[in-house]
Structure 1
Amino acid sequence: MRVPALRFGPEGVERVEDSVVEEVPVALVYNGISHAVMLATPTDLEDFALGFSLSEGLIASPAELLEVEISATPAGIELQLRVTAERFQGFKATRRQLAGRTGCGLCGRESLEQAILPVPKVAETLAVPAEALTRAIAALPEVQGLHRQSGGVHAAGWAGIDGEIHLVREDVGRHNALDKLIGALRRQRIDPAAGFVLITSRASHELVHKAASAGIQLLAAVSAPTGMAVRNAEAAGLTLVGWLRGSGFSVYSRVDRITDPAA
């Protein structure tokens, strides 16, 4: 949307109109029972519904999500999700109701035991050339449509091992952007393990967990990882890259999975 602003610059002050990205409450309702409310950008919501359901372990496969109905309300957007009866019984007793802030990863967890879930192991078959990472990060700004308009969103992109970006999803929340990307990959029947994911944020534990849960073998972030993210990436067998900017980056786990032709 466009909003008026007063712009101060070296040549003086002027009235302008700026593009800003929207964030709205998005409620995820499973079989009629509210499970979570997240602040999100209201785009690619079917991808978000599927990706969130998979990365949170609420369903094990896309086939268990039978239907998604999107309803706009005065208070926000409701995603009415219908899952199989067997899967619904599995998480109904332990569901968590939460209000998810834009940058939130663990809000709504009720105990320390629930806060840090075990990270699943990933297959360790993907080797990526170093130049593919630098090629992908150089190309990412050109495919960030919302970011070019407003500058206020994160992106998660999926690239092949040659560094060509094939899919991007954006959101005000970095976790939401990755959930949308995971959902898009599964809906389009793209094998996440055939390439790698890059994100325009730091690499947190929650992002490593979501990536590993989706079978992603390499996660690259433009900023720093946390210590927990590094430890859990090692435990999962996931290659974790940070500070991916310009022509350089750092590898924090599974360094043997990055190939360097100059070596």
Structure 2
Amino acid sequence: MTPEEVGDRLVALLATEDPDTGAVTAEVSGGGPGHARAVVDVPVGRWWFAAEAARDAGALGCDFFDWLSAVDELDGGFAVVAHLWSTRRRHGLLLRTRVPRTDPLVESLVDLYPGAAWHERETHEMFGITFSRHPDLRPLLLPPEFEGHPLRKEFVLASRVAKPWPGAKEPGESEAGTAKRAPMRPPGVPDPNEWGPLKGKVPPPETPARRERPARPAGERPARPARATPGTPGDPKAEPPKTDGETA
């Protein structure tokens, strides 16, 4: 099946007349042959049913769970994406839904695809998205006492405040180490003078002053050095070339 046929088939399987559940749409994403994928957007309430239809429908047969993650869309909430694959028909499917930023909740796919367990744990840990009916959403990568969700865009990257930058030069510096402008902070890095243990103790960076060239008086040009007149001592044109038998 082509990616277009895969997407249209799943949309037909999920067709519903209930306007409250939202529409199911399909598109194709990716490059040339062998890389294109069907992308099907479903309402969050149809997420589990879409994965079940993709797995059990004979024409689709997406029996292999590849990966699951999320994307922070800021005011648009979070996009939850799962990639499914058919080992027999050799086609893939990107299943996507959107959850709100406040209390994000989506149904777990563990009972359909046991391999989704670790992926949902990581997504819960990094984005704060809850997967209902997941058997164990304990931390996977971070220590239990860690606070916050590192892959949310509002999460503060405090490493530059907690310890000195180990790089050879700061952003904005030239190869010689002389700052051309005030050092820049990468996205997510707070101003150490406004946040962290050095709050209120760090002086603002000094912008190097530009050296001004002295102004030349209007209408005045620097005098050129006088050229030697031909025939005068010291003029190379006035002295005949020396031969091999002559000495200086």
TM-score (ref. length: structure 1): 0.26
More helix, by proportion: 1
Q: Using CA pairs under 8 Å that are at least 6 residues apart, name the structure with larger relative contact order, 1 or 2.
A: 1
What's the TM-score, normalizing by structure 2?
0.27
